Amino acid sequence: MAVVLVGLLGIGVGVFLSSRHGSVRPVEEKKEAGAEEKGILRLSQEQKASLGLKVGPVELRVPETHLSVTGKIAANPDKTVVISPRTSGRVVKVLARLGDTLDAGTPMALLDSIEATEALAELTHCESALALARAKAEKERELYDAKLRVLGAAQRQESAAGAEKDLAAVELGRPKQEYISALARLELSRSNYERQKLLLEKKIGARKDLIEAEKAFIGARTEVDAVAEAIRISARQELLAAETALQQAQSQRDKAREKVRLLGFGRVPEEKPLKTTSAQGLEMNLAAPFRGTVIERQVTEGQFLEAGFAAFRLADLTTVWVLLDVPETDLAKLRIGQEVTIETNSDPPLRKKGRVAYIGEVVEDQSRTVKVRVELSNLERQFKPGMFVTARIHAGSGGLRVVMVPSSALFLMDGGPVVFVEEKEGFQPRFVQVGPQGGGWTTIGNGLKAGERIVQEGGFALKALILKSKLGGE
């Protein structure tokens, strides 16, 4: 019955080919002796062309190795995060739902926290201290510039009275009095020196008196310079102290602002940092740290949360991991970068190619397998964490070269695999022993030799003609 069915199939295909390619029949020529008995089918060149036959030599190739394993889809842990509050509080409102895709910084929930009040009070105090320190530093900077400017003008005065007039508007305190006094002594010593020099020129005074007057004059001038320098140093120190206090106040304010931000208030504006939601507490955001999808939610409105509670789990699912279980006996065939074809168990199955990104270092005790990781692009979100998959790892080629033919050249006839060999008389079906397949090629154990020419494409039409010819012969 099987033979009859195959024959009928051959007749149907023959009719189809006849209607498509015209009447394609074996050449009605005188055959060589024994050709019919060998089952050889003779075709003209026109018939070969109309059937679309492609003939090529049998090759020696190194067979490719494939590993078939199972695994599971998992979210990329490098892009998965647990969202937790940094301080205890009560949930005021839940804004994120399971499956929502959120941008970075999007609020997921609002919390009312009494503990955050202390952080706000500290920030308010630091803001006030900073404002005072800034005002004082600005005033000291103005005074410093004014002191140096007026002190320079006073130094150019020849009399203590003139210097006192120039320094009248400057707040120097005791240093100003010391400077005026030193300037007055300088003025007196200068007059005495000039008088002693005039007396000596008139031969009235003594040289000894002139020398003493000159020494007193030089000492008074040095004293004036020293007092002026002391005033400048004092003004610089006061300015430096004010600027140091400003920097410290700035640092304390920044520290307080950062503490408030880390508690979950987000980036605090410069003007009015925060707003309270009630008389007791402050509204804090649980915000998404990056763009991702909510894959877990453990909070409801009104729930009280402790610091560190796993409120949400957020994952970037644009890439996923495929964790494969590879037997330890196949580890030698694995390499980083090998191509892997992933197929899901869904109907219809999803298929996608990836590459081996990581080979585990530990063999699991129970299963005696090693975890192998493949990273897949998942922009369309077709691959869901938790899916079971099968994987075909392209382990490359290795070993000796063997006889191989394209898998498309093999056909089933009379219960066995055959290929159509090109002989001098025509085409002859020959039974072969097949081996492993991979990459579109099949290993041939027996029945063919390298270099023999076989039909690589179009063999289906050739098979139909041979079956039709056999039925006609019967």
pLDDT per residue as tens digits for the range 163-210: 666 666 566 656 666 666 776 777 777 777 777 878 878 778 787 887
pTM of the model: 0.51
pLDDT per residue as tens digits for the range 424-446: 888 888 999 988 777 678 888 88
The reported pLDDT for the residue numbered 397 is: 60
Torsion 34-38-39-41 (CA) sign: negative
Average pLDDT over residues 323-347: 91
Query: Which CATH code of 1.10.287, 3.40.50, 1.10.540, 1.10.20 fits the domain covering 121-262?
Result: 1.10.287
Distances (CA, A) of 9 to 43, 80, 466: 21, 57, 12
Helix (DSSP H) and strand (DSSP E) numbers for the chain:
7, 23
DSSP class of residue 330? Answer: G
Ranking 244-248, 361-365, 446-450 by mean pLDDT, the lowest is: 446-450
Homologous superfamily, domain 66-77+315-396: Efflux pump adaptor protein, beta barrel domain (2.40.30.170)
pLDDT per residue as tens digits for the range 70-121: 999 999 999 999 999 888 888 999 999 999 999 998 999 988 877 777 777 8
CB atoms within 10 A of CB 339: 14
Residue 149 — pLDDT band, cuts 50, 70, 90?
low
Q: Sheet holding 59-61: strands in order across?
A: 59-61, 402-406, 441-446, 433-438
Please check the confidence at residue 6 and state whether its pLDDT lies above 50: no
pLDDT per residue as tens digits for the range 385-435: 999 999 999 876 656 788 888 888 899 888 889 999 988 888 888 999 988
Q: How many whole angstroms from its chain centre is CA 47?
A: 60
Distances (CA, A) of 429 to 31, 38, 54, 403, 421: 17, 9, 15, 17, 6
pLDDT per residue as tens digits for the range 228-242: 777 778 778 888 999
The reported pLDDT for the residue numbered 15 is: 35
Collect all residues with Cβ–Cβ distance below 8 Å to 98 and sequence separation of at least 6: 294, 295, 296, 297
The reported pLDDT for the residue numbered 231 is: 74
Ranking 266-275, 301-310, 328-337, 343-352 by mean pLDDT, the lowest is: 266-275
Amino acid at 91: V
DSSP string covering 420-461: EEE-SSSEEEEE-EEEEEETTEEEEEES--TT-EEEEESHHH
CA distance linking residue 466 with residue 13, whole number of Å: 11
CB atoms within 10 A of CB 451: 10
The reported pLDDT for the residue numbered 281 is: 44
CATH class for the region spanning 2-63+401-473: mainly beta
| CATH 2.40.420.20 residue ranges for the chain | 2-63+401-473
The reported pLDDT for the residue numbered 274 is: 46
Higher pLDDT among residues 79 and 215, named by residue: 79
The reported pLDDT for the residue numbered 277 is: 40
pLDDT per residue as tens digits for the range 28-64: 343 444 445 456 788 877 777 788 888 889 988 877 7
Residue 276 — pLDDT band, cuts 50, 70, 90?
very low
Q: Are 59 and 404 in contact (CB under 8 A)?
A: yes
Higher pLDDT among residues 259 and 378, named by residue: 378
Instruction: Indicate the average pLDDT of the chain.
Output: 79
| CATH 2.40.30.170 residue ranges for the chain | 66-77+315-396
CB atoms within 10 A of CB 464: 21
The reported pLDDT for the residue numbered 398 is: 59
The reported pLDDT for the residue numbered 11 is: 39
Helix extents (H) in 101-159 = 116-155
Please check the confidence at residue 219 and state whether its pLDDT lies above 70: yes
In total, the chain counts a number of residues equal to 474
